[in-house]
Amino acid sequence: MRSSAPDPDPDPDPRSLGPHLASIGRSMVTIGPRRADLAPAVRIAASLAAPLVILLLTGHVQWSLFASFGAFTSIYARYVPTATRLRHHATVGLLLTICVGVGALIAQLAAAGVLGGAVHLGLTTVIGALAAAIGSVIVMSRGMRPTGAVFPVFATTAVASAPSVAPFWLALLIAGASALWCVVLGFLARWTGEANPDAALPETVGITGAMRRQEFSRYGFAALVSGIIAAATGIPSPYWAQVAAVVPLSAPGRRLQVERGLHRIVGTALGVGVTAFLLSFPSQPWQLLVWVILFQFLAEMFVLRNYSLALVFITPLALLMVQLANPRPVGALLAARVSETAIGAVVGIGSVLLAVALERRRRSRD
């Protein structure tokens, strides 16, 4: 269901969210019905595993961030016919490759001294907001799943914020090769139970220019505001806030968008605890890689059944993925993730409630 389609739930009243907290709490501990998740989860984990293992064996684990974001291509296009999956994978693979390349170019310019610290931070924040706005419109227009722009934002800003370890053309090559591997696995999935020829085609009819402009503005607004607030606090890596801010917007319906934002905060906090435990032991790169692949598999097994539970795996996956490519002090890394996620999720929820208030005001005037 598109995020810009009519809401299946009544709009939440910005002044009275209390009555809904109990149901939101229940949703955090309720696991949805089992689906045919095993085959796509194995495929998605394999999409990530192969490029990371190759980089580890060749002594280039510092490039793993580029390969990981290219491999996120495989997360899209579950439960669709093979031809649709190939089209969606080709589109999102190109999108994520460009995002990685743009981020690597920003990092390269910063490393060369062309961009000062404040300019680097500001440019990364603005480009991240543009990645959110453009990515969300592309995903909506093509009827792709998952909806939203989490991965374009994450790919652009994480690479731009990390130290430059390769020229941007090499980052493009690595991400593109990883995305191409996902396309190949997506095609082979027709023989592993994912062909699903009877699935409904993506809903793309009736998407108007006004709907695209609305999608562009709401994702761009949430990502930009959250990035500015996080940057103003002086917390390192404010891109985590931008990622968290666009998460609520992808849910189908305003009430579910608020719920998704609260899930993000709680699930991230629990996932940070898991990460803290794992990083409390000295680890070799190959051990982190094993955890990354395992968490990718577990995340895909539960992400459609319980989002807060999936975040217990998604959070360490993301943190370990960044740590594998660019090791940082663990305490600062984890504290930044919690605080910036809270900032981003609050901004995302606030933008949803602001939209509700503006729509009600407009309807009352008509």
- What is the tens place of the pLDDT at every residue in 313-323? 999 999 999 88
- Those residues whose C-beta lies under 8 Å from the C-beta of residue 7, and which sit 6 or more positions away, are 252, 253, 254, 255
pLDDT tens digits, residue range 46-89?
A: 999 999 999 999 999 999 999 999 999 999 998 888 889 999 99
Backbone angles phi, psi at 280, to 5 degrees: -75, -10
- Those residues whose C-beta lies under 8 Å from the C-beta of residue 149, and which sit 6 or more positions away, are 131, 132, 133, 134, 135, 136, 139, 219, 223, 246, 250
Mean pLDDT, rounded, for 338-350: 92
Contact call for residues 207 and 141 (beta carbons, < 8 A):
yes
CA pair distance 308, 149, nearest whole angstrom? 19
What percentage of the chain has pLDDT greater than the value 90?
60
Contact call for residues 325 and 61 (beta carbons, < 8 A):
yes
Predicted TM-score (pTM) of the model is 0.89
Angle between helices 239-246 and 330-365 (to 10 degrees): 40
Q: Is residue 13 over pLDDT 60?
A: no
- Those residues whose C-beta lies under 8 Å from the C-beta of residue 251, and which sit 6 or more positions away, are 3, 257, 259, 260
Residue type, 282: P
What is the pLDDT confidence band of residue 154, given thresholds at 50, 70 and 90?
very high
Residue 47 vs residue 333, higher pLDDT? 47
Contact call for residues 233 and 343 (beta carbons, < 8 A):
yes
Chain-centroid distance, C-alpha 208: 25
CA pair distance 124, 127, nearest whole angstrom? 5
Question: Which tokens is 240 given?
Answer: 């985590």
**Average pLDDT in the chain:** 88
> How much is the pLDDT for 5?
40
Mean pLDDT, rounded, for 326-347: 89
Chain-centroid distance, C-alpha 202: 21
Mean pLDDT, rounded, for 247-262: 87
pLDDT tens digits, residue range 230-244?
A: 999 888 778 999 999
Q: Is residue 349 over pLDDT 70?
A: yes
